[in-house]
A = this chain, B = another copy of it.
């Protein structure tokens, strides 16, 4: 198991596909797991940055801050208005990904990049655990 560290400066998508490619070897499955409950993993289009901006905007609209009128029913507000929405987004988006590996290469599609999706406002140091299991006979 390898633990990658990703420093985040506010909400948004942070790509780390290349760091996973560097860890891939042989034939098997790479498991990627984020050790937090207020950020997510995401595989999404790596071509047009508009896609990443629109994705973030959609989830911000679906889950507004807890001091916005439609979210005033939220009770867990002690860690700031961005905290409970971050937990909700982290529930809706992946905490683990399983990616097949063939001949030392991740079987990602042409347009697939792997991202950490930060949901908190303040800077965070995030840990992503990566494990490889082999399909060798």
- The 8 Å CB contact of A98, one of B3, B31, B84, is B31
Contact B48–A135 (Cβ < 8 Å): no
Question: Considering only CB atoms, which chain B residue lies closest to A58 in the complex?
Answer: B88
Question: Shortest beta-carbon distance, A119 to chain B, in Å?
Answer: 13
Interface residues on A, range: 35 or more
Is A53 engaged at the interface, CB distance under 8 Å to the other chain? yes
Question: Considering only CB atoms, which chain B residue lies closest to A131 in the complex?
Answer: B100
- The 8 Å CB contact of A44, one of B87, B98, B101, B107, is B87
Is A20 engaged at the interface, CB distance under 8 Å to the other chain? no
Is A6 engaged at the interface, CB distance under 8 Å to the other chain? no
- The 8 Å CB contact of A28, one of B57, B109, B130, B131, is B131
